[in-house]
A and B are shown apart, each in its own frame.
Chain A
Amino acid sequence: MDTKYLFKRHNTYWVKVAVPKDLRKELGFDLRTSLHTHELSEAQKLREAVVEGFKSQIFAAKENLKQSNGKGSVKTFMPITDTSDPQYYHKVVDCQYACPAHTPVPEYIRKISQNEYTEAYMINWESNVFPGILGRTCDRPCEPACRRTRTHEKPVAICRLKRVAADFKDDVSNLLPKAPSNSNGKKIALIGGGPASLTVARDLIVMGYECTLFEKDPQAGGLMRTNIPSFRLPEEVLDAEVNQILDMGLNTKFNSEITSLKNFLHEDFDAVFVGTGAPKGKDLNIEGRKEAKANIHIGIDFLTSIAFEHINSIGKKVIVLGGGNTAMDCCRSSLRLGAEDVKVVVRSPFSQMKASEWEIEDAMEENIPIFENHVPKKFIHDEGKLTGMEFQKVEAVFDAKGNRSLVPTDDDPVIIECDDVLVAIGQDNSFEWIERDIGLEFGEWDMPVVNPTTFQSTHPKVFFGGDAAWGPENIIWAAAHGHQAAISIHKFCQNEDINKRPEPGTNLVSQKMGLHEWSYDNDISQAKRFLVPKADQDVALKSLKIEVEKGFDENLAMEEAQRCLNCDVQTVFSESLCIECDACVDICPTDCINFMFNGPEDEVRQNIRIPALNIEQDLLVSKILPTKRTMFKDEDVCLHCGLCAERCPTGAWDMQTFLYEEAKVYS
C-alpha cells in the first residue's frame, strides 16, 4: 500500500506534500490542500495529481530563489523551539487546537473520569456555551485531530463525553454568572437569536452591558431550534441551555424581524451584532420546478416547519437531494413523518459527501439508500402533480490541481419515482435587509466585508458572527465567533484599539508528586472506541421526538474517558539538567526522542530515528547540548505516557499539565 504523502485520520485520507523550508515563504508551509477522501485508491490518484502539479511550482520557486539571492546552498538550522509561546504547547493538544472555541478537552475528560461532571460541564460552558447541545450535534473538528487516530485507530469519543458532562451534572444555576446590579450604560443590539448572538450576550451581560436580542421567530435558538430535528436534539436540552443565557438578564424581542439596518441604526444602540445565520436554502431551478412546486420543498424550510409543527405529513415516496447534514436530517425526518420509501441522491461520489461521517452512518442504519454520482436533470410531473425525477449519471474526474469535475457517463438517464422532493443542496446568506448605502461594504459572493480577527464590518458599529459572517459552518464556530465579537464590541464601546487582542491564559504545572508518582493516569488504555447506545429503531422511527442516541452511561463514560491520552500533560525538557545518558531515547515506546546534530528542517525530519513525515506536527528543538548535539522530539505520535520523565535521572524531562484558556471579554 503506497501511502506516501497520505495521512490517514479517522477513515479520511489527507493529501499533503512537504515543501522545502526555504520555499515556504513563496509556497506556504505545506501544500496540504483540502483534498481528502475516504477511499484509499481515490486518495492515491489525488496525490499523484497533486505531486505532479506542484513539482513544476517547486522547481520554479527554487530557480527563483537561486537567482534572487544566489545563496541557495547556505546551511540552515532548525530554530530552538520557543515553548513560552502559548501556541507551541497548545498545538500539541490536538483536540483543543482544532476546536474553534479551544475547549480544554483533556481537562474536562479527566474531570469526567473522576465523576466530577459539574466541573466538566462548567469547563465546557466557559468555552463553548452549549455543552449539552454540542454534545449531541457538534461537527467535532476535535475528533479527526485526536492523537489516537495516529497512535491507535479511532479517536476518543470527545463529543459524546461532552454530552456525558451535561447529562450527569448537578444543578449549575448557582455557578452561572449573573449580570452586575449596575449596568455600564452601554446598549448592544443582537440581531438573530442563534448561537452566535447568544454567546455575545452571555459574554457582554456579565460586563454590565444591556443587551437586546431581536429574533424573527417566536423563540430563541436559531438553527439549533429550526434545523436540528428533535430526535437528535431534544427540545428540553435546547431550552435549558438557551434559557441559561436568557435568564442572565437578556432583553428579548421575539417575532421581530429587522427589515432595514439603515433604520435600525437610528435606534439607541452603541453597537450592533448581526448573527442572522445563513437562512436561505438553495433552490434547484431545473425543468419542471415551477409546475411541480407544490411537492418540492427547500430542506431547511421543511425542517423549520417541522420544528414549529406546521407540517406533520409527507408523501410515501421521498427524494432528498444533497449530501450534507441537512440532507441527512431531511431524510430521517421524512421517515418519521410517515414516508415509506426515502432515497438520498447526491451529485458527487459517496466518499466526498459533505455530511459528517456519523450522520451518514445514522441515515444508513435507518435503511435509507444513498445514490451517488447522480446529477438532477428535471422534475417529472403529470399536469403539475410531481411523479418523479430524472438524473444523469456522472463520474468524478480530477485535474492536476485536484479540482473536481463531474463528467457525464454513457449510461441512460435514471428515473426515480417520488411524491415529494426535498432540496438540501446548500444554504445562502440573506442580506436584503441591509442597505448598500450605509457604509457597510459588501464583497465577493455578496457577503459583507468582515475582519476575520475582530469580526467588525466596515461600518464600525456593526459586527458580524456565526454563519452571517462567512457562510454556513457549525454551532461551535458560532460560539467561537461570539467570544471574539464580544471582545471587539467591548473594546469598541470603551474606545480601545480592537485590533489589540487579549492574550490567552496559560498555566504549566508539574505532575510529579514523588520519585515515581505522577498525578495523572498515564496508563495507555488499549480499549477500542465505545459505541453510544441507541434507542430501539422500531420505537425511534415512530416519533420525531424520541432521541435516537441514548448517550453513554457512567460506566461507559468512564471507560471511554480512559482512552484519552492526556495530550495536555506536556513533555517539558530542560537542557541545563540533561546529561545525555540516552535513557529517554531507549525507553520511548514511539521513538519520538532523538539526540543529533542540528540541520535544515527537511534533513532533520528525514534523519531522526523514524522520519517525521507528518509536517503538520512540530518538532520540539532544544538548545545545543554539551556534546554539541540537539534534542529533537517529534510531537506526532507521543503517547504522553511519561516514561521519558520516569527514566530521566536528573529530571531534565518533566510532565507538566498545560492549561490553555482562550481569552474572553471578562477574563
Chain B
Amino acid sequence: MTYIVKPVNHHPNLEKNKLGLTRRDYEGTISTLCAGCGHDSISAAVIEACYDLSISSDQIAKLSGIGCSSKSPSYFLNQAHGFNSVHGRMPSVATGANLGNKDLLYLGVSGDGDTAAIGIGQFMHAARRQLNITYIVENNGTYGLTKGQFSATNDQGSKSKYGEENVFAPIDLPTMAIQLGAGFVGRSFSGDKQQLVPLLKAAMKFEGFSLIDIISPCVTFNNHLGSTKSFDHIREHNESVSSLDFVPIGKEIKTTYKEGTKVDVPLHDGAMLTLEKLSKKYNPLDKGQAIQSLNEAEKNGKVLTGLLFINPEVKDHAEILNISDTPLNQLAEKELCPGAKKLAKINASLN
C-alpha cells in the first residue's frame, strides 16, 4: 500500500509521443499492491508500451478477473475502458466485448490463479478460438491475496514461505497455448523491461490471440530462498531465446544483427518484428521445436523467455467467423434488419 499521493509534477524534459502525451499521461491511480510487487513493474511496462506506440487510451479496453493481478488495470491507463469481471471469466467478457466492438485493443490482465486454475477452461477456448486479445498473465506462482498457497503454475519441489514443498507438477501456460493454436506466445520477467516492453508492443499489434506469461515475483509470499519464482531464481535461470525489436510501419530498422541470426516477421498491418536469435537451434516459427525446447528447458530447470512462438499466418476469430468489418455496436437497425422485401426473397428461395 502507498498512502502518499504521487505528485503531478514530472521531469521538465519528459518527452512527448506523437499524440503529444507524456508517459505520465498513461498512468493510473496509485497502486495498492505490496511495495515491490512485480505486478507494478508490469503496469509500468504496459504504460511504456502504450506511450511508445502512441495509442490513445480510449482505443483500449482493460479486462480482468479476480486477484492481485486483476486489480492492476486500475494502476495504468486511467482513461481507458475497463471491466473487472468474475473470477476466471475474463475471457468470456472479452469475447463478448470483442464481438461488440472489434476495433478496440483488448488487454486481458489475469494471474496464475485466475488463468491456470479457476479460469483454465475459459483461457483454453479463448486461445483455441483466436480471440483477438493481448492476454497478460502476471504469474507469481502463489495465491497472494489468501496468504501464499501454491498456485497451479508453482513448480514441483518449490518451497512455500513457511517451508513446505509443492508436491504437484506445474501447468506451463505457454506450452499449452502453443498446443491450442495461439498465434503469439511469449514469456518474460517483470524485472526485465528491456525484454518486456518490445514484447508487449508486438503482442498488442498482433491480430489474434497473444499470450505473454510474465513471471512476476510476489515479494510478500514467494520471493524467498527455495522458491522458483523469486527475483534471484529467475535472474539466475532465465534463458532468453531471442532479443526482440518491434518496428512499427514506416520506421527504419536501426538494429543490425550478424547475418544468419536475424529473423524478420511481418505483422498484418505492415509492421515488422525483428528477432535476434540468441540460440542457434531455436526457431520461433516452428511449433514443434518451440514445444520441444520448452519441455527441455523445464527439465533442466531453466526458464525460457522472449518470443517463444509466432504464427504470422493465423486468422483471428473475427476473420474466421466472417464478422462484418463494421463493429457490431456501430450497426443500426437499418443494417441489421434486412427488411420485408429481402425476407420475402429468402422465403421464396426456400420453396
A contact residues around B38 at 8 Å (CB) = 581
Q: With A579-B231, A581-B36, A586-B41 given, is the CB distance from A516 to B3 under 8 Å? A: yes
Asked whether, in the complex, the Cβ of B235 is within 8 Å of the Cβ of A627, the reply is yes
Q: With A579-B36, A579-B223, A649-B36 given, is the CB distance from A523 to B5 under 8 Å? A: yes
Q: Is B338 an interface residue (CB 8 A)?
A: no
Asked whether, in the complex, the Cβ of A639 is within 8 Å of the Cβ of B191, the reply is no
Q: Is B99 an interface residue (CB 8 A)?
A: no
Asked whether, in the complex, the Cβ of A582 is within 8 Å of the Cβ of B35, the reply is no
B contact residues around A626 at 8 Å (CB) = 232, 235
Q: Is B8 an interface residue (CB 8 A)?
A: yes
Closest chain A CB from B56 CB (angstroms): 23
Q: Is B44 an interface residue (CB 8 A)?
A: yes
Closest chain A CB from B107 CB (angstroms): 18
Stretch touching chain A among B11-19, B116-124, B261-269, B341-349? B11-19
Q: Is A522 an interface residue (CB 8 A)?
A: yes
How far apart sit A585 and B41, CA to CA, in the bound complex (Å)? 9
How far apart sit A529 and B35, CA to CA, in the bound complex (Å)? 34
A contact residues around B223 at 8 Å (CB) = 579
How far apart sit A79 and B9, CA to CA, in the bound complex (Å)? 30
Closest chain A CB from B116 CB (angstroms): 23
Asked whether, in the complex, the Cβ of B1 is within 8 Å of the Cβ of A583, the reply is no
B contact residues around A151 at 8 Å (CB) = 9, 12
Partner of B10, one of A590, A642, A649: A590
> Which residue in chain A gives the minimum CB-CB distance to B191?
A582
Asked whether, in the complex, the Cβ of B36 is within 8 Å of the Cβ of A586, the reply is no
How far apart sit A246 and B34, CA to CA, in the bound complex (Å)? 60
How far apart sit A257 and B15, CA to CA, in the bound complex (Å)? 63
Q: With A522-B4, A580-B231, A610-B14 given, is the CB distance from A649 to B34 under 8 Å? A: yes
Closest chain B CB from A5 CB (angstroms): 13
Q: Is A526 an interface residue (CB 8 A)?
A: yes
Asked whether, in the complex, the Cβ of A582 is within 8 Å of the Cβ of B4, the reply is no
Q: Is B7 an interface residue (CB 8 A)?
A: yes
- Residues of B197-234 at the interface with A, using a CB-CB cut-off of 8 Å, are 217, 219-220, 223, 231-232
Asked whether, in the complex, the Cβ of A648 is within 8 Å of the Cβ of B9, the reply is no
> Which residue in chain A gives the minimum CB-CB distance to B44?
A586
Partner of B41, one of A518, A522, A583, A650: A583
How far apart sit A26 and B9, CA to CA, in the bound complex (Å)? 39
Q: With A516-B3, A526-B8, A641-B4 given, is the CB distance from A581 to B14 under 8 Å? A: no
B contact residues around A613 at 8 Å (CB) = 13
How far apart sit A409 and B103, CA to CA, in the bound complex (Å)? 67
Q: Is A635 an interface residue (CB 8 A)?
A: no
Closest chain A CB from B47 CB (angstroms): 9
Q: Is B40 an interface residue (CB 8 A)?
A: yes
B contact residues around A237 at 8 Å (CB) = none
Closest chain B CB from A388 CB (angstroms): 49
Q: Is B134 an interface residue (CB 8 A)?
A: no
> Which residue in chain B gives the minimum CB-CB distance to A525?
B7
A contact residues around B43 at 8 Å (CB) = 586
Asked whether, in the complex, the Cβ of A581 is within 8 Å of the Cβ of B11, the reply is no
A contact residues around B235 at 8 Å (CB) = 626-627
Closest chain A CB from B85 CB (angstroms): 26
- Residues of A496-532 at the interface with B, using a CB-CB cut-off of 8 Å, are 516, 518, 522-524, 526
- Residues of A560-589 at the interface with B, using a CB-CB cut-off of 8 Å, are 579-583, 585-587, 589
How far apart sit A619 and B36, CA to CA, in the bound complex (Å)? 23
A contact residues around B44 at 8 Å (CB) = 582, 585-586
Q: List 20 A-B contacts (CB under 8 A).
A: A516-B3, A524-B7, A579-B36, A580-B191, A582-B190, A583-B41, A585-B44, A587-B6, A589-B9, A590-B11, A610-B14, A639-B9, A641-B7, A646-B3, A647-B2, A647-B35, A647-B40, A648-B36, A649-B219, A649-B220
Instruction: Give the A-binding residues of B (Cβ under 8 A).
Output: 1-15, 24, 31, 34-38, 40-41, 43-44, 190-191, 193, 217, 219-220, 223, 231-232, 235
By Cβ-Cβ distance, the 3 closest A-B pairs, closest first, are A649-B36, A586-B44, A524-B7
Instruction: Give the B-binding residues of A (Cβ under 8 A).
Output: 150-152, 516, 518, 522-524, 526, 579-583, 585-587, 589-592, 610-611, 613, 626-627, 637, 639, 641-643, 646-650
Extra contacts, 7 of them, besides A151-B9, A581-B191 (Cβ < 8 A), are: A516-B3, A581-B38, A583-B36, A589-B10, A589-B24, A646-B35, A647-B35
